Amino acid sequence: MPIHDWTRVDAGVFHHFHNGWLQEIARSLNQGLLPRDYYALAEQVTGDFGPDVLTLKRPAWNPKSADSEPNGGVALAKAPPKVRFHARTEVDVYAAKAKTIVIRHRSRHQVIAMIEIVSPGNKSGQTAFAAFVHRADEAILSGIHLLIVDLFPPTPRDPDGIHRAIWARDGEGDFALPKDKPLTCVSYVGYPGPEVFLEPVAVGDTLPDMPLFLTPAVYVPVPLEATYRAAFEGVPDFLREELAAPPANGRKKPGKGRKKKKS
């Protein structure tokens, strides 16, 4: 199924789809994609990653430890993710309601990884956007692995895409999105060795499977396309028709003709 142009419909419609998509992804992860000691839940994540929010502990990864690698997943060295860009470095109302998939290890229920699907609310204003970027930065620096899917075109707040807003500019991994691929699927390996795997996409493309890292060396492939298709079935028929219809002659492009709000 091709990626739809979600700027055609109200933000509340995407919010409905967003929740369904997260549930489909979590279901896929919990039904065999994740190794048995890991589990995924859709959780509301707001504020800093303090003990009162996520009982977060930095994942301790010791390559010499016998239990440092999960019993399952894909070894990065054996099957590198098929993405266009890869780099390593040394070191609104709907935004408030948005949920995140949180992957935990059942031994201490510590956070290992997260999946974020960008919503219109995340880009609706400078405050909401800064909060999203801060949360992503904090997760990566806390040692949490992160997968972000952004199906909305760049805005004045992220003119070069969501990845450039998160990743340090002028360094390894400072990828410029191709003009014909303005949307982003990006996976991050958390601290102490942040690493990025990025695949640019566009409306009409098929979503790729993207890696969700459990350790810096092991990931599970997240079936974005299959879960997107399943979640889309939960959108009302007339809205699915609106999203699937080709632009009519003389029809204004989504977002055109509206005055931009100052942020």
Average pLDDT, the chain: 81
The residue among 153, 122, 149 whose CA lies nearest residue 5 is 153
What is the CATH classification number for the domain harbouring 202? 3.90.1570
Q: Which amino acid is at 147?
A: L
* Beta carbons of 27 and 173 less than 8 angstroms apart: no
Dist. CA 29–CA 154, nearest whole Å: 29
* Beta carbons of 203 and 8 less than 8 angstroms apart: no
252 domain-assigned: no
Q: What is the SS3 assignment for 126? A: helix
CB-based contacts of 55: which residues, under 8 Å, 6+ apart? Answer: 109, 110
Dist. CA 212–CA 67, nearest whole Å: 19
- Residue 253 scores a pLDDT above 80: no
Say which residue the tokens 């992160």 belong to: 146
Dist. CA 68–CA 252, nearest whole Å: 54
- pLDDT, tens digit (0-9, with 9 covering 90-100), for 136-147: 998 998 899 999
249 domain-assigned: no
68 domain-assigned: no
Instruction: Determine the pLDDT at residue 69.
Output: 63
103 domain-assigned: yes
The DSSP H or E segment spanning 14 is helix 11-28
Structurally, the chain folds into a number of domains equal to 1
Tokens of 184: 């982003």
Please calculate the CA angle 96-101-102 and round it to the nearest 5 degrees.
110
147 domain-assigned: yes
* Beta carbons of 223 and 21 less than 8 angstroms apart: no
178 domain-assigned: yes
84 domain-assigned: yes
CB-based contacts of 151: which residues, under 8 Å, 6+ apart? Answer: 3, 6, 117, 118, 183
* Beta carbons of 227 and 24 less than 8 angstroms apart: yes
The DSSP H or E segment spanning 53 is helix 51-54
- Other beta carbons within 10 angstroms of residue 67's beta carbon come to 9
Structural domain span for residue 211: 6-58+74-237
245 domain-assigned: no
- pLDDT, tens digit (0-9, with 9 covering 90-100), for 20-34: 999 999 999 999 999
- pLDDT, tens digit (0-9, with 9 covering 90-100), for 38-71: 999 988 765 554 443 444 444 444 444 434 567 6
Dist. CA 166–CA 133, nearest whole Å: 6
Q: Count of residues for the chain?
A: 263
CB-based contacts of 260: which residues, under 8 Å, 6+ apart? Answer: 156
- pLDDT, tens digit (0-9, with 9 covering 90-100), for 188-236: 998 887 889 999 999 999 999 999 999 999 999 999 999 999 999 999 9
Rounded (10°) angle between helices 11-28 and 224-232: 130
